[in-house]
Copies of this chain bind each other. A is one copy, B any other.
């Protein structure tokens, strides 16, 4: 047992933290200003500051860490973990800069493992190069999409084409014009058994019949840097059959395969979210005075600081453990990831909330990242399966050991 970071980890964490602290965080207000200055018809274009940061990330070797070789660096989960955490300190701008937005990473890994050579050439390569982006169209309005049974978008074969009809929303990233395609989960065999009902299809964002009806604000945030969260109607959208990813009716297992790496990535990022909020709190309470003492001398504020530090450190250990299991294909991976899924979003939300309280009105207003950090953490209590689903999954696996 050895808890020291490996040389690879140590090098990467140093590079990533420096990049995030020295380049990305100072660029946040620049991004906000650039976004605010865009005319409405260009409001989802890629920001100049993002291109500058991407160049720096490439120079520092922080590009495509999670993307399999030969398209990316193909690092293991544990080696890349500290970078994922560091990027969580600026959870929209840093992943965008490092080409590690969750949806893109998941899509690239999926195409690397299951895409045809043509798909890899047409979609994976430009994604890995950063010339395009992608989005996952999974969630649907009106139902609990964490239960795949509830997915109602239909896809059928017609000659050499696949035809899709349905309604997706919370398709993160799809508002942006540089999002070239969507990976759409659709029902191809409604009567089949649970795991053989769905197919996964690449749908170009400009396909006829695909209509982006609006952006969904997330707790009031438009999230322009990551391309928003699109509400999308698919009305008899036709794509070549070659756009099928993996097997016909085999979409469910592909989607599942995406999930644990995505949850791990998000769990790590949430540790970074919490560290950012912790920084803001710990700095602030040194200076803000109430009742004749700086806040940092008040017992209740120290309690926030102490609990936050403990909870962050515990969540990081859960995440590193999950990464370690994942690298070994250990059968405990799923449980470890579920544990992380239960802990990390709630922990990050709690730390952000304490930080807001410590900052007072400043903390709930537009002048710090706390509102965006809060929205990000809050969404992740729902995304990739609500916490409760994972909590009960942990419980059921435990109970099986005793029956």
Chain A residues engaging chain B, CB cutoff 8 angstroms: 1-6, 9, 78, 139, 141-147, 150, 169-170, 216-221, 229, 279, 282-283, 285-286, 288-291, 295-296, 298-307, 309-310, 313-314, 317-318, 320-321, 324, 339, 342-343, 356-357, 360-362, 364-366, 371-372, 374-375, 378-379, 381-382, 386-389, 391-396, 398-399, 401-403
Contact = CB atoms under 8 A, between A and B. Distances in A.
A388 B2 CA distance: 30
B286 A1 contact: no
A35 to B, nearest CB: 14
What secondary structure prevails in chain A residues at the interface with B?
helix
Given A5-B1, A306-B395, A282 B402 contact: yes
Given A144-B290, A144-B295, A371 B139 contact: no
B360 A386 contact: yes
Nearest to A318: B314
A339 to B, nearest CB: 5
Nearest to A375: B220
Contacts of A229: 365
Contacts of A371: 217, 219-220
A395 B309 contact: yes
Nearest to A339: B310
Nearest to A221: B220
Contact of A144 (B219, B289, B387): B289
B306 A392 contact: yes
B364 A382 contact: yes
Contacts of A318: 310, 313-314, 317
Nearest to A393: B306
Contacts of A317: 314, 317-318, 321
A220 B278 CA distance: 21
Contacts of A218: 364-365
Contact of A2 (B1, B283, B291): B1
B289 A143 contact: yes
Contacts of A300: 299-300, 303, 388, 391-392
B216 A365 contact: yes
A374 B219 contact: yes
Residue from A5, A307, A365, A372 with most neighbouring chain B CB atoms (10 Å):
A365
A150 B395 CA distance: 26
B314 A343 contact: yes
B303 A299 contact: yes
A150 B299 contact: no
Contacts of A3: 1, 320-321, 324
A391 B1 contact: no
A360 B139 CA distance: 10
B309 A361 contact: no
A398 B306 contact: yes
Which 3 A/B pairs are nearest by Cβ-Cβ distance? Answer: A299-B299, A220-B220, A306-B395
22 contacts: A143-B288, A144-B288, A144-B289, A169-B361, A170-B361, A220-B371, A220-B375, A283-B402, A302-B391, A302-B395, A302-B396, A302-B399, A304-B395, A305-B394, A305-B395, A309-B339, A309-B394, A309-B395, A310-B339, A314-B318, A356-B378, A364-B382
Nearest to A401: B282
A141 B362 contact: yes
A292 B255 CA distance: 20
Contact of A217 (B285, B304, B365): B365
A393 B357 CA distance: 17
B365 A381 contact: no
A305 B364 CA distance: 28
